[in-house]
Amino acid sequence: MRHRSRRLMFGSLIASLALLSGLALVDSQRHARIVEDIAHAGDQVSAYQDAAYLSAREMSLLRASAANPRSAERRQVLGADTEAYQATLRIAELNPEATTVVQRQIHLRQVIIGYLSMLDHGKITEARESLETAIAPTYRRNAAKLLELRNRYQQEYDQRVADARHDSRRLLLAAVFTFVLSLIVIALFVWNSRAHRRQVETMATTDMLTGLPNRIAFTEHLHRALAVAPPDRTAPGVTVLTVNINGFRHVNDQLGPHVGDRLLAEAGRRLSTVVRDTDMVARTGGDEFAIMLRDLDPARAEDVAARLREAFDEPFQLDDVTVDLEISIGAATAADGDDVSTLLGNADSALHDAKEQHDGYRRFTGHSAQDSTDRLTLLGDLRRALTDASQFTLHYQPKIGLGGAGGLVGVEALARWHHPARGPVPPGQFVPVLESTSLIHPFTERVLTIALQQAREWLDAGHRIPVAVNLSTRSLLDESFTDRLAALLASTGVPGELLCIEITEHTVMSDPSTTIEALNRVRALGVKTSIDDFGTGYSSMTYLKLLPVDELKIDRSFVADMVTDPSSRALVASSVDLAHNLGLTVVAEGVEDAATAEALAALSCDTAQGYHFARPQSAADLTAGLPQRQPA
Binding mask 573-602 for Ca ion (x = CB under 5 A): ----------------x-------------
Contact segment (CB under 5 A) with Ca ion among 124-132, 376-384, 464-472, 481-489 equals 464-472
CB of 201 to ligand C2E, least distance (A): 45
256 binds ligand C2E (CB under 6 A): no
The minimum distance between CB 443 and ligand C2E, in angstroms, equals 7
Is there binding between residue 616 and ligand C2E (CB under 6 A)?
yes
Separation between Cα atoms, residue 183 and residue 191, nearest integer Å? 12
User: How far, in Å, CA of 575 to CA of 578, rounded?
Assistant: 5
First and final C-alpha spacing in the chain = 83
Give one DSSP letter per residue of 480-513, joined into a string.
Answer: THHHHHHHHHHHHT--GGGEEEEEEHHHHHHSHH
**568 belongs to the binding site for ligand C2E (CB under 6 A):** no
Among 237, 398, 512, 610, binds ligand C2E (CB under 6 A): 610
Least distance to ligand C2E, CB of residue 334, Å: 35
In angstroms, the CA 347 to CA 329 distance is: 8
426 makes contact with ligand C2E (CB under 6 A):
yes
Is residue 532 within the footprint of ligand C2E (CB under 6 A)? Answer: yes
Residue 356 lies near ligand C2E (rule: CB under 6 A): no
Residue 495's identity, in one-letter code, is: P
By a kind-dependent CB cut-off of 5 to 8 A, residue 415 interacts, out of ligand C2E, Ca ion, none, with ligand C2E
Whether 399 contacts 408, CB under 8 Å: yes
Using CB under 6 A, pick the residue from 41, 378, 447, 485 that binds ligand C2E.
447
Q: How, if at all, do strands 585-588 and 280-285 pair?
A: unpaired
Q: Is 627 in the site for ligand C2E (CB under 6 A)?
A: no
Query: Which of residues 73 and 532 has its CB atom nearest to Ca ion in the complex?
Result: 532
Can residue 505 be called a binding residue for Ca ion (CB under 5 A)? Answer: no
Q: Does 593 participate in binding ligand C2E (rule CB under 6 A)? A: no
Distance CA(181)–CA(20), nearest Å, equals 10
Identify which of 98, 93, 130, 136 has the alpha carbon closest to the alpha carbon of residue 114.
Answer: 130
The pattern of x and - marking residues 387 through 416 that bind ligand C2E according to CB under 6 A reads: ----------x----------------xx-
Q: What are phi and psi of 616, to 5 degrees?
A: -60, 140
Enumerate residues 451-490 that contact ligand C2E by CB under 6 A. 470-472
- Non-local (6+) Cβ contacts of 376 within 8 A are none
Instruction: Return the DSSP state at 97.
Output: G
Query: Of 502, 505, 511, 551, which lies in the binding site for Ca ion, with binding defined by CB under 5 A?
Result: 502
Return the residue of 81, 533, 551, 606 that touches Ca ion, per CB under 5 A. Answer: 533
Cα angle value 66/71/75 (rounded, 5°): 90
Which residue, among 154, 55, 57, 41, has the nearest Cα to 95 in the 3D structure?
41
CA 406/CA 608 separation, integer angstroms: 10
Fill in the amino acid letter for 203.
Answer: M
Candidates 17-25, 204-212, 321-329, 499-507; binding stretch for Ca ion (CB under 5 A): 499-507
Stretch that binds ligand C2E, among 319-327, 365-373, 596-604, 608-616 (CB under 6 A): 608-616
Contact of residue 431 among ligand C2E, Ca ion, none (CB under 5-8 Å per partner type): ligand C2E
In the bound state, the residue with its beta carbon closest to ligand C2E is 610
By CB under 6 A, residue 556 contacts ligand C2E: yes
Q: Are 418 and 393 contacting, i.e. CB atoms less than 8 angstroms apart?
A: yes
Choose one: 64-72, 422-430, 508-516, 578-586; the region binding ligand C2E (CB under 6 A).
422-430
Concatenate the DSSP letters of all residues of 415-466 into one string.
EEEEETTTEEE-HHHHHHHHHTSTTHHHHHHHHHHHHHHHHHHHHHTT----
Do 552 and 585 meet the contact criterion of CB atoms below 8 Å apart?
yes
CB of 475 to ligand C2E, least distance (A): 7
The residue (of 59 and 434) whose beta carbon lies closer to ligand C2E is 434
Name the minimum Å distance from CB 502 to Ca ion: 4
Q: For residues 55 and 143, what is the distance between their CA atoms, to the nearest angstrom?
A: 8
Contact yes or no for 344/242 (Cβ under 8 A): yes
Measured on CA atoms in the order 292, 296, 302, 307, is the torsion positive or negative?
negative
- The option from Ca ion, ligand C2E, none interacting with 150 (CB < 5 to 8 A, set by class) reads none
Residues that bind ligand C2E (CB under 6 A): 397, 414-415, 426-428, 431, 447, 470-472, 532-533, 556, 589-592, 610-611, 616
